[in-house]
């Protein structure tokens, strides 16, 4: 497992992407400005589609759906209709909503489905990471359908929201160097599955930068969804093709599983940090609880006086993270299947007790860090986008197929890449998953259950109650660290949204007991001081997730930011 973690860290280090140009570069200290509306996503074409939807009278929810569908075409490694996620909405009237469209385990899945007769995890095909059995029942289309019907503007038709993505799939778009290279980088597994090999690898001839990349099967699927609605994905021809391909390849998802999928409205999770209200996702996302718990621990310290990314601040942050991620492993899961003590975990008094014993000059070993005494009742390759409309409605949306290109399986005839989200369950409770995360018995595999997630779409308010900024990230469990450190950077260190997102960051997740760090983010002197405290740094630095966000200044100007670690564009007007 340690070998896999080191390989993953090395991948993060070597994986670099180019920013798709706008007049203002995303890596600049100044965010992109828009007087009325803004979309910040991982691809310029998708962001422009979202902005166009709002120009035509749609609201932020309508635009977010259009962006998500477009990313399924132009950002296939993470954008999807074959995965799932979470949408956080705050309307201009102050009401907030959380849509859970996380994938669900097929009915046939059970606790030991990914272990062999010797109790060891199954690797490769047949396991929880690659191939047909790795996929949970997709929730993206159901989530978008719920959002459109309950929270859309009512001024724009479903067909008009789907059409831009359909046209992109049919007519194609020009491949960037990044995407062309990334497709080749994943050829080993994509080549194993006929439709993935044909669509993404050009049957072994491979696409090059500048090629026109078309996806006619995905275009046809989107055309059916455009005409018949999102239900077509779950009960129509698309559903039948997915189920048939699953059956032919020993997969788990059946037509009944697809028909029974339900997206859910959940109550947003709310907390505060230094007087600022924070609205974020509840379980089955762990991100909101972990973030609020760590912020509650930090609130008792003068973080600003410590200095940004000083050894004192990073040591405190690491110790708080260590404790919160230990609680994550023990207590968090799908609330429909387990009693998650959300109120206690996010209670400020509990956080104060949890950080008791903190030594400003000494690390507390993870081997000695147990979950807190509570009473009461992720892929690297997620993608996040944020939308703010002229009326002030905000959408912070994170969705995923888990690993890059998910399970690597494209369902025959559909053009739909399927997720490998079953690995976000505890395939073997107490043992590390793809990201090295330890997960407990509460997150065991059960049919109809949603796996625990690290996705952390978040909205932060000013002290006067007006919306300030929204942010989210991609990057497995590192999502939580990226979002949280962005919040800290804005509130404690008074950065603008672009500076806060671009600033160097670290990540600690309890186990493995080491700090993930960025190559140019922490000075050698700071690392040496922290090492003297007893911290261990991962031997290979790499990017700590990738975030996107939008800030609203006091004059109402929308300020869009794309992480310089990744690609994308903020588009406003």
Whether residue 393 lies in the annotated active site = no
3-state SS string for 448-503: CCCCCECCCCEEEECCCCCEEEEEEEECCCHHHHHHHHHHHHHHCCCCCHHHHHHC
CA atoms of 70 and 167, how far apart (whole Å): 9
- Which run of H or of E encompasses 2? helix 2-14
- Helix 60-74 to helix 158-171 angle, to the nearest 10 degrees? 20
What ranges in 20-81 are assigned the alpha helix state H? Answer: 44-55, 60-74
The upper half-sphere exposure of residue 148, i.e. CA atoms within 13 Å in the direction of its Cβ, equals 25
224 token code pair: 């059916």
C-alpha span between 289 and 197 (Å, rounded): 40
The set of residues, in sequence order, having a beta carbon less than 8 Å from that of 396 and lying 6+ positions away, is 87, 88, 384, 386, 457, 458, 459, 470, 471, 472
Strand partners, 507: 516
> Mind spelling out the 3-state secondary structure of 314-368?
HHHHHHHHHHHHHHHHHHCCCCCCCCCCHHHHCCHHHHHHHHCCCECCECCCHHH
* DSSP-assigned letters across all residues of 100-150: EE--B--TT--TTTTB-TTSPBPPSBTSSSBSGGGPPBP-HHHHHHHHHHH
Q: Among the options 254, 318, 382, 526, which is catalytic?
A: 382
Which conformational region is residue 120 in: left (phi greater than 0), alpha (psi within -120 to 50 degrees), or beta?
beta
Dihedral class, residue 443 (left if φ above 0, else alpha if ψ from -120 to 50, else beta): alpha
- Cis peptide before 284, with omega less than 30 degrees from 0? yes
Read off the tokens for 527: 């690392």
SS3 (DSSP) at 285: strand
Q: How would you write 169-192 as a 3-class SS string?
A: HHHCEECCHHHHHHHHHCHHHHCC
300-306 long-range Cβ contacts below 8 angstroms, 24+ apart: 300/352, 300/355, 303/488, 303/492, 304/492, 304/493
For the annotated catalytic residues, the residue numbers are: 382
């Amino acid at each position: 497992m340690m070998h896999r973690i080191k390989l993953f860290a090395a991948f993060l280090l070597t994986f670099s992407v180019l920013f798709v140009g706008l007049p203002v570069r995303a890596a600049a200290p100044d965010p992109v400005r828009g007087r009325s509306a803004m979309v910040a996503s991982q691809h310029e074409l998708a962001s422009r589609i979202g902005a166009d939807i709002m120009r035509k009278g749609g609201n932020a929810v309508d635009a977010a759906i259009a962006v998500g569908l477009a990313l399924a075409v132009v950002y296939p490694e993470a954008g999807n209709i074959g995965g799932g996620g979470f949408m956080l909405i705050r309307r201009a009237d102050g009401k907030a909503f959380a849509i859970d469209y996380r994938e669900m385990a097929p009915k046939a899945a059970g606790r030991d489905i990914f272990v062999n007769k010797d109790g060891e995890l199954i690797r490769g095909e047949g396991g929880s990471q690659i191939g047909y059995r790795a996929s949970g029942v997709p929730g993206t289309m159901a989530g978008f359908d719920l959002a459109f019907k309950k929270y859309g503007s009512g001024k724009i038709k479903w067909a008009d929201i789907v059409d831009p993505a359909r046209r992109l799939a049919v007519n194609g778009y020009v491949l960037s160097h990044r995407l062309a290279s990334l497709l080749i980088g994943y050829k080993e597994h994509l080549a194993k599955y006929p439709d993935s090999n044909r669509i993404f690898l050009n049957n072994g001839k491979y696409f090059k930068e500048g090629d026109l990349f078309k996806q006619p099967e995905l275009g046809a699927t989107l055309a059916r969804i455009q005409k018949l609605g999102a239900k077509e994905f779950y009960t129509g021809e698309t559903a039948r093709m997915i189920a048939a391909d699953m059956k032919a390849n020993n997969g788990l998802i059946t037509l009944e599983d697809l028909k029974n999928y339900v997206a859910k409205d959940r109550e947003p999770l709310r907390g505060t940090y230094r007087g600022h209200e924070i609205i974020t996702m509840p379980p089955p996302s762990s991100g909101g609880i972990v973030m609020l718990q760590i912020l509650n621990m930090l609130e008792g310290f003068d973080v600003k006086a410590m200095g940004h990314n000083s050894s004192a601040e990073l040591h405190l942050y690491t110790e708080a993270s260590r404790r919160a991620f230990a609680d994550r492993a023990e207590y968090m899961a799908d609330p429909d299947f387990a009693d998650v003590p959300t109120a206690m975990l996010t209670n400020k008094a509990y956080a104060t007790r949890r950080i008791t014993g903190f030594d400003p000059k000494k690390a507390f070993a993870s081997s000695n860090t147990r979950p807190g005494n509570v009473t009461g009742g992720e892929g690297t390759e997620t993608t996040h986008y944020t939308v703010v409309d002229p009326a002030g409605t905000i959408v912070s949306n994170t969705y995923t197929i888990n690993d890059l290109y998910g399970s690597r399986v494209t369902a025959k005839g559909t053009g739909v890449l399927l997720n490998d989200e079953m690995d976000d369950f505890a395939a073997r409770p107490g043992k590390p998953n793809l990201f090295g995360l330890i997960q407990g018995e509460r997150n065991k595999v059960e049919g109809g259950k949603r796996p625990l997630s690290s996705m952390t779409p978040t909205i932060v308010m000013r002290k006067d109650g007006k919306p300030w900024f929204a942010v989210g990230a991609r990057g497995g469990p590192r999502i939580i660290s990226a979002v949280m450190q962005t919040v800290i950077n804005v509130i404690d260190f008074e950065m603008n949204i672009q500076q806060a997102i671009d600033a160097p960051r670290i990540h600690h997740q309890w186990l493995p007991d080491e700090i993930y760090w960025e190559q140019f983010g922490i000075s050698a002197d700071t690392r040496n001081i922290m090492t003297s405290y007893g911290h261990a740094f991962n031997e290979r630095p790499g990017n700590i997730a990738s975030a996107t966000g939008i800030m609203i200044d006091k004059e109402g100007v929308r300020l869009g930011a794309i992480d310089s670690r990744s690609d994308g564009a903020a588009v406003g007007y």
